Amino acid sequence: MSTRDSERSWPEPRVTGAEAADSVDGAEPEQADGPGDHDLIRAAQEGDEAAFAELVRRHERRAYRVARNLVPSREDALDLAQEAFLRVFRNIDRFDFHHEFTTWLYRIVTNLGIDHLRKRRPAVSTASLSPEDDGDLDLPDAEGPTPTESVESRETAEQVRACIDSLAPHFRAVLTLRELEGLPCTEIADIVGATHVTVRWRLHRGRKLFQEEWERRMRIESQRPGARPVEPTSERPHHQA
């Protein structure tokens, strides 16, 4: 690379468009015909500030959305997205062109989110099992239920948010990447630095813990005076495990 990181005088990358993606359904910016992510990275490695700015523009909403689904605070999510692109900026020389840029970005954001959650509260052990302990895992099949598929209102979305927030960081991360971002387990394994079997086990446990927390909250809700009955979720996921 012709311009080293220590010699760069670029301004700190700013995440400015992420605010528009404050929901899991926020649309990504349109990507017109032009250079791909790898082309932009190569240009940025040569000191092209505009190329790096385009990378940020293309992916800032995605980075913010992943962070927002990991941490409960909008401000914290913006900070994490900002820090993620700062780390991309500092380490762009070492990008591995065998991978997609989004995989690298997801990994950075996810690791930052997990670190943030672990500092925020001690991790709580939610299961005594491990992939190594159980050779015959009761993994969910492709038609297993998940409450996140039936989010139809803000009230329900808030309940889903609270259930996700109740999970330990490693369960929250794989559920966010799988159920909300729709990534395949093989890519999630690469992002979180775990084996494919471990990711599937975490999904299995995370979904079960999510369901238990969902049902607990629905029982409490149904006992409130004047509360309208809440039907149990019965939608089937569309993602293949």
Question: Which residues lie closer than 8 Å to 86 by C-beta, 6 or more apart?
Answer: 12, 13
Measured between alpha carbons, how far is 60 from 105 in angstroms, rounded to an integer? 10
Q: What is the pLDDT of residue 228?
A: 58
Residue 47, token pair as written in the block: 């000191």
Q: Are 173 and 192 in contact (CB under 8 A)?
A: yes
Taking the CB of residue 109, how many other CB atoms lie within 10 A of it? 30
Q: Which CATH number applies to 5-120?
A: 1.10.1740.10
Taking the CB of residue 31, how many other CB atoms lie within 10 A of it? 11
Q: Could you tell me the pTM of the whole model?
A: 0.65
Percent of the chain with pLDDT over 90: 43
Is the alpha carbon torsion for 162, 164, 166, 169 positive or negative? negative
Structure confidence at residue 33 as a pLDDT band (50, 70, 90)? low
More confidently predicted of 161 and 67 = 67
Residue 46, token pair as written in the block: 């040569």
Q: Are 203 and 237 in contact (CB under 8 A)?
A: no
Among 123, 126, 113, 48, which Cα is nearest to 87's?
113
- Over residues 99-156, the pLDDT tens digits come to 999 999 999 999 999 988 888 754 444 444 444 443 333 333 334 445 545 445 567 7
Q: What is the pLDDT of residue 121?
A: 58
Taking residues 39-56, report their average pLDDT: 95
Q: Are 174 and 202 in contact (CB under 8 A)?
A: yes
In sequence order, which ranges of the chain are alpha helices (DSSP H)? 37-45, 49-68, 74-91, 101-120, 154-165, 169-175, 185-192, 196-222
Q: Are 82 and 138 in contact (CB under 8 A)?
A: no
Correct CATH for 129-241 of 3.30.450.40, 1.10.10.10, 3.20.20.450, 3.40.50.720: 1.10.10.10
Q: Please give the single-letter amino acid code of residue 120.
A: R
Measured between alpha carbons, how far is 68 from 81 in angstroms, rounded to an integer? 9
Q: Are 31 and 58 in contact (CB under 8 A)?
A: yes
Describe the crossing of helices 37-45 and 49-68 by its angle, rounded to 10 degrees.
120
Give residue limits of the domains in the chain: 5-120, 129-241
- Over residues 183-232, the pLDDT tens digits come to 999 999 999 999 999 999 999 999 999 989 888 888 887 887 765 555 55
